[in-house]
Amino acid sequence: MQKQFKYEFLIPIIVILLRFFPYPFGIFSYLIIAIYALLGPSQAIKALLLACFLSQLNFFVFPDVVTYASGPSSEGQYLVMFTVLSYCAVKFFFQRAFILNGPIIITLSLGLFYIVHSILFSQIVDISLLKVALWTLVMTSLIYLWSSLSFDEHNILSNEIFLWIGIVVFLSSPLIFMSQGIARNHNDFQGLFNGSQVLGIVCAVLLAFHLGNIFSKKYPSFKVLLFVIFVSYIIFISGSRTAIVALYFSVITYFISVTFLIKNPLEYHLRIMNNFLFYFFGMMLFVLVTFFSLGDQVISKRTNSNSLIEAYLDSRSVLIDPMIENIKQDPIIGIGFGIGSDYENMSSTRDPLFDLPYRASTEKGLIFIAVMEEVGIIGLTLFLLWLLFIFKIAIHNRANQILVLFAIVFLNFGESMIFSSGGIGLLCMILLAWIMTSKPYKSHHNE
């Protein structure tokens, strides 16, 4: 197992090194990931994670392939997805590795409803159909892959994924001293990613995972505490209000929900509160935030906003206002899954052979408003039930899973990405599938 881990650890290194080659040679990094995905369920999940990161690399550090309509950033990611989907299909239909559990059935039902909705009501049917079909296939495949792992394999893979995420954030730190680290807007740190917002999102889920581990242990590892401080610094210099605020509300919601919904929360989920150092560090953190006025810096962020709500409306009103108008016109049906608010002028990139859209990105804010705009009140209700299903699983599992779920949900208050199988949304899908397939929390876990 240790030799296999060392061998597999070379894969992301080789992939990143190949990514330094310009277009079109960058496609070889995706080819290696696609082959790697065929080695097993764990490898298939990690292949999607690597493809997600490759699509979000800082092109001030790595060669720019994003601007090529048929470059590796699009073709390569679809290649990896197609390989993973093919691997799952072979195992399910030909190797008779049947898995049809609750998470798969619930997710498949949600996807099928959105597919029918797209056929009947979408303003641009082919875009909606391809988007929802891809999301449904990738999401159910991720659940299938996670479900095929044993209890130990499941835990090992989740730890390895967050280790890889942590390494990527750590490798971003040297760029603090280089112009490429802030090249996107010359103010906020973006590290190895193509934007500070992406770095903030990655740091938020990483911190949520490690904070969950800290809260559930009376004597957490000192190395983990130092790493949390380091990542907290990175997320702050990223200037991502979405990530910082999402993490803050995740922790608050976690403490409230665990206290009211979990029996003996201090024994299982909040063991750190039995340690007096928790209160000491909490007080020190409060003093630090107050002294440096970090709250004001996060809220204002080079604007005249005086409150969090005002800052949110200032930054997201340009996205929310058109959604509200579409909802007013048709709150029942919606405009179609994955369709932009200004759908009459929505642009897409289509392949020259079949004229199928493979790139039709949309930018939206609060996901609940976005879902209602696209699939109406019934589609929103089903989405909320899907989230509630995931929450019921998470609340009885480990603290880090609850916090990661809350982080993903609150991140989608600023960036609607749960239904985006391209870009950083794929990371959210991987982590949601991890949560949905986790075994019940064991009260006899070791420190």
Distance between first and last Cα of the chain: 23
Cross-strand partners of 357: 350
Torsion of CA 79, 82, 84, 85, to 10 degrees: 170
Contacts of 12 (CB under 8 A, 6+ apart): 50, 164
Residue 334 near residue 372 (C-beta atoms within 8 A) = yes
Amino acid letter for position 78: Y
Q: Report the sign of the C-alpha dihedral through residues 20, 162, 366, 81, in that order.
A: positive
Centroid of chain to Cα 38 = 23
Residue 437 near residue 255 (C-beta atoms within 8 A) = no
- Helix axis angle for 196-215 and 241-261, nearest 10°, is 20
Model pLDDT, residue 67: 46
Contacts of 223 (CB under 8 A, 6+ apart): none
Per-10-residue mean pLDDT of the chain, 447 residues long, equals 60 80 76 92 94 87 59 70 94 81 94 95 88 95 95 92 93 90 84 91 95 85 88 89 89 87 74 74 67 57 60 66 86 88 73 67 82 93 96 88 95 88 90 90 44
Contacts of 201 (CB under 8 A, 6+ apart): 240, 242, 243, 411, 415, 424, 427
Per DSSP, the three-state class of 193 is strand
Q: Where are the alpha helices (DSSP H) in 19-101?
A: 27-36, 41-54, 72-89
Peptide bond into 331 cis (omega under 30): no
The DSSP secondary-structure symbol of 57 reads B
Per DSSP, the three-state class of 350 is strand
Measure Cα distances from 280 to 231, 249, 275, 283, 284 in Å.
20, 21, 9, 5, 6
Residue 273 near residue 220 (C-beta atoms within 8 A) = no
Q: Report the sign of the C-alpha dihedral through residues 136, 139, 144, 147, in that order.
A: negative
Q: Which of 374, 290, 273 is nearest to 330 (CA)?
A: 374
Residue 221 near residue 184 (C-beta atoms within 8 A) = no
Contacts of 27 (CB under 8 A, 6+ apart): 72, 75, 76
Cα separation, 250 vs 208, in Å, equals 8
Residue 357 phi, psi dihedral angles, 5° rounding: -75, 125
Residue 196 phi, psi dihedral angles, 5° rounding: -65, -30
Contacts of 306 (CB under 8 A, 6+ apart): 299, 300
- Helix axis angle for 41-54 and 2-18, nearest 10°, is 30
The DSSP secondary-structure symbol of 195 reads S
Cα separation, 60 vs 82, in Å, equals 29
Element of type H or E holding 358: strand 357-359
Model pLDDT, residue 77: 84
Residue 373 near residue 416 (C-beta atoms within 8 A) = no
Q: Could you give the count of Cα atoms lying within 13 Å of 108 in the half-sphere of its Cβ?
A: 12
